[in-house]
């Protein structure tokens, strides 16, 4: 029973660390949490190549997103912990409150799915991997469904299945 209790305690502690981090950077915009929660040598495998490396890149990315998207809720769909790894499938609920991907603010609310995987060291996040449905945001914010904007405008709706869309 000791192993199960230890594993459950570790999972609970990791989940609380992630909740605290999300609350700070997504809701209160307290970016000091970046240096408190992430290790000094933190590696973000999700980071785009133009972002600064490590913790500076995380703070930069969250600060930029905060100008365009107001986080309304983070829904954890599942959370799995094994050894020093915590993996979560999540649903992010946003309101479009500033320019994003060239789109002026619409005030629309939307949700995108994704996953986060964290490696912990000494109670802090040392590495992060993420996958999110960011590519569908332009379609979710388009004036109307269809070919008027976003990714949908890239594909020929009349193309036969399997043709790859536009010639």
Q: Is 55 exposed, middle or buried (0-12, 13-18, 19+ CB in 10 A)?
A: buried
pLDDT in tens, 22-54: 999 999 999 999 999 999 999 999 998 999 999
- Among 40-49, 72-81, 151-160, name the one with the lowest average pLDDT: 151-160
d(CA 73, CA 79): 16
pLDDT band at residue 72 under the 50/70/90 scheme: very high
Quote the pLDDT of residue 142.
80
Is the Cβ–Cβ distance between 136 and 109 less than 8 Å? Answer: no
């Amino acid at each position: 029973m000791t192993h199960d209790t230890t594993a459950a305690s570790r999972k609970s502690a990791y989940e609380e660390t992630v909740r605290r981090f999300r609350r700070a950077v997504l809701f209160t915009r307290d970016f000091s949490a970046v240096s408190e929660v992430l290790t000094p040598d933190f590696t973000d495998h999700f980071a785009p190549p133009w972002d600064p490396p490590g913790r500076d890149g995380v703070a930069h990315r969250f600060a930029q997103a905060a100008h365009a998207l107001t986080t309304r809720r983070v829904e954890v769909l599942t959370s799995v912990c094994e050894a020093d790894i915590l993996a979560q499938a999540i649903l992010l609920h946003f309101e479009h409150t500033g320019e994003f991907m060239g789109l002026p603010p619409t005030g629309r609310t939307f949700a995108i799915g994704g996953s986060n995987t964290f490696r912990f060291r000494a109670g802090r996040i040392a590495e992060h991997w993420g996958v999110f449905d960011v590519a569908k945001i332009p379609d979710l914010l388009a004036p109307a469904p269809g070919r008027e904007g976003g990714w949908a405008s890239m594909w020929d709706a009349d193309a036969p299945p399997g043709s790859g869309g536009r010639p």
